């Protein structure tokens, strides 16, 4: 029997599910699912629900929890921010970095994203770094240029030897929350480009690259049929425990 290819199913709950709802979700989700070889289930609840989520999933090695955003400084006068030591204290092992909503709604720059990735690695936290172009950038034929610049900002701060701990999510901004997902071919093409550019920069390890943007039960299998994709990062379709359990179970 061949070993299944490792796949990551990441749920970004954005500004949904307080501690009570997070606990309720995970209790139900744990009932509905069993660990599957090669399948990792990642949850990014809002910061106030991190501790509840970490407590609820104890005993399930296939599940990890992460923060949706972190600051690069370990402490200091940064009102409203969360440091890596703060999130790891409650059990987070992952951090989402550079989500397009952080970049476009809150002005996060490539340089800040690079700093956050480096800080996460230093703190022993796995960064899931998001990259992706806007609709205007895609229509202007600038997808490659934008994505490569976003990746280069990380290459500048993360030595090649550390890249085996980095995970990337390609999330085209025009596909997020719009119901309009990239086709498997569109996604695979950008994933291939990212890998090619990383190897040109001496980053040899096989960095997992997830696809995100309007992934749902109807399109996930088509997307994951492309071997360039190592998993999915999902917003809306991850908010309901039954629906999410069904989606992560579709692959076997």
> Could you give the residue numbers annotated as active site?
99, 171
Stretch (H or E) spanning 139: helix 135-139
Rounded CA gap, 48 and 46, in Å?
A: 6
Tokens of 67: 């923060």
Nearer to ligand 13P, 97 or 203 (CB): 97
**Shortest distance, CB of residue 11 to ligand 13P, whole angstroms?**
8
Nearer to ligand 13P, 75 or 104 (CB): 104
Q: Out of 46, 66, 212, 251, point to the residue binding ligand 13P (CB under 6 A).
A: 212
Give the burial class of 23: count Cβ atoms within 10 A of its Cβ; 0-12 exposed, 13-18 middle, 19 or more buried.
Answer: middle
Is 98 among the residues that bind ligand 13P (CB under 6 A)?
A: no
**Shortest distance, CB of residue 251 to ligand 13P, whole angstroms?**
17
Q: Give the footprint of ligand 13P on residues 15-34 (CB under 6 A).
A: none
**Shortest distance, CB of residue 107 to ligand 13P, whole angstroms?**
17
b (16+ CB within 10 A) / e for 151-170: bebbbebbeeeebebbbbbb
Of 160, 163, 177, the residue nearest 99 (C-alpha): 177
Query: Coil, strand or helix: which one is 24?
Result: helix
Tokens of 184: 């498997």
Q: Give the footprint of ligand 13P on residues 129-148 (CB under 6 A).
A: none
Is 243 among the residues that bind ligand 13P (CB under 6 A)?
A: no
**Shortest distance, CB of residue 178 to ligand 13P, whole angstroms?**
7
Q: Which residues bind ligand 13P (CB under 6 A)?
A: 12, 99, 171, 176-177, 212-215, 233-237
């Amino acid at each position: 029997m061949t070993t299944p290819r490792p796949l990551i199913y990441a749920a970004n709950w954005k500004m949904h599910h307080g501690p009570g709802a997070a606990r309720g979700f995970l209790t139900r989700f744990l009932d509905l699912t069993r660990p599957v070889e090669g399948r990792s289930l990642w949850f990014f609840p809002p910061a106030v629900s991190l501790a509840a989520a970490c407590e609820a999933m104890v005993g399930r090695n296939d599940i990890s929890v992460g923060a949706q955003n972190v600051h690069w400084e370990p402490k200091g006068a940064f009102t409203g921010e969360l440091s890596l030591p703060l999130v790891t204290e409650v059990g987070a092992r992952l951090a989402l970095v550079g989500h397009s909503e952080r970049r476009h709604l809150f002005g996060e720059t490539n340089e800040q994203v690079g700093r956050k990735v480096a800080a996460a690695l230093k703190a022993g936290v796995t960064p899931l770094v998001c990259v992706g172009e806007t609709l205007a950038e895609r229509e202007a034929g600038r997808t490659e240029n934008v994505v490569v610049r976003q990746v280069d900002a990380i290459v500048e701060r993360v030595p090649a030897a550390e890249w085996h701990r980095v995970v990337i999510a390609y999330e085209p901004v025009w596909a997020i929350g719009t119901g309009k997902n990239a086709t498997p071919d569109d996604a695979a093409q950008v994933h291939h480009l990212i890998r090619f550019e990383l190897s040109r920069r001496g980053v040899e390890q096989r960095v997992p690259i997830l696809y995100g943007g309007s992934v749902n039960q109807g399109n996930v299998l088509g997307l994951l049929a492309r071997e360039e994709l190592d998993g999915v990062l999902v917003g809306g379709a991850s908010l309901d425990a039954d629906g999410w359990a069904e989606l992560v179970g579709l692959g076997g």
